[in-house]
Amino acid sequence: MGRSLPRPTTIIKGMHAMNTEGKTPEEVFFGGFNYKLSSFFHDDYTEIDSIETPATFMIVYEKKLAQKEFDLFDRLQFRIFYDKEIITGSNPINVKLLSDSYSAELVMNLAKMISDIFGLDDSGTCEKADISFYSADEYDLFWTIGDGESFISIEHDPKEGLTLNILFYNNLIGQSVGDLLMPEKA
C-alpha cells in the first residue's frame, strides 16, 4: 500500500473534485465514499443471512445507507467468512453495495473512475464500453488489485440488480475483523 497514483489526478466525488496527489489508489478510492466503511459495525445493521459449510461459516450483515454511494447504491452488505479450523482475526471481509434502480450513465462514470484509479479492468472492456453496455440486462467488470490480494467488480444481473463488490476489503485497508470491531480512536 505504499504506492501512489502514477500522476496527480482529479477524481470526482459526487459533485466535488478530489485531489489525488500523493495518495495511494486505495486512499483515493475509499475517499470517494460518503459512508466510512470501517464504521459499519458502529452503526445499526441487520444480520440477513448465514451459511455454514464443514470448513467455514459466513455471516451477511446489511444496512440501508442514509445517502447513496456514487449516486447509485442505497444498501451496503458486509460478508464475513470464518475459517472453522483457523481463527486468526484476519478472516476475509467482502463488501457489496446494491442498487435496484440506477442510471447507466452513472455506472459508466463509476467504472471510468475505478479505471482511473486502479487501471483498466481485467478484460479491458471498460475502455471501449459505451452507454449501451451499461444499459444491458447483464454485465460484469473486474479489477484485480495488487497481486490478486483484493478485487473490485461492478456487476448487473436481473436477480440482484446493480452491485459494486469489494472482495477481500480487509486486504485493501490492511485491517483485520477485530480491528473493524474496535471503536475508532478520537
3-state secondary structure 43-104: CCCEEEEEEECCCEEEEEEEEEEEEEECCCEEEEEEEEEEECCCCCCCCCEEEEEEECCCCH
Residue 44 in domain: yes
What pLDDT is attached to residue 173?
77
Is 175 or 74 the better-scoring residue by pLDDT?
A: 74
**Residue 98 binned pLDDT confidence (cut-offs 50, 70, 90):** very high
Range(s) of the domain holding residue 145: 36-181
What pLDDT is attached to residue 17?
53
Task: Give me the percent of the chain exceeding a pLDDT of 70.
Answer: 81
Is 142 or 181 the better-scoring residue by pLDDT?
A: 142
Task: Give me the percent of the chain exceeding a pLDDT of 90.
Answer: 40
Residue 27 in domain: no
Residue 25 in domain: no
Residue 83 in domain: yes
Residue 28 in domain: no
Residue 6 in domain: no
The pLDDT tens digits for 23-50 are 888 888 888 888 888 777 777 888 899 8
pTM for the predicted model, two decimal places: 0.80
Residue 58 in domain: yes
pLDDT at 8 > cutoff 80: no
Residue 88 in domain: yes
**How many structural domains is the chain composed of?**
1
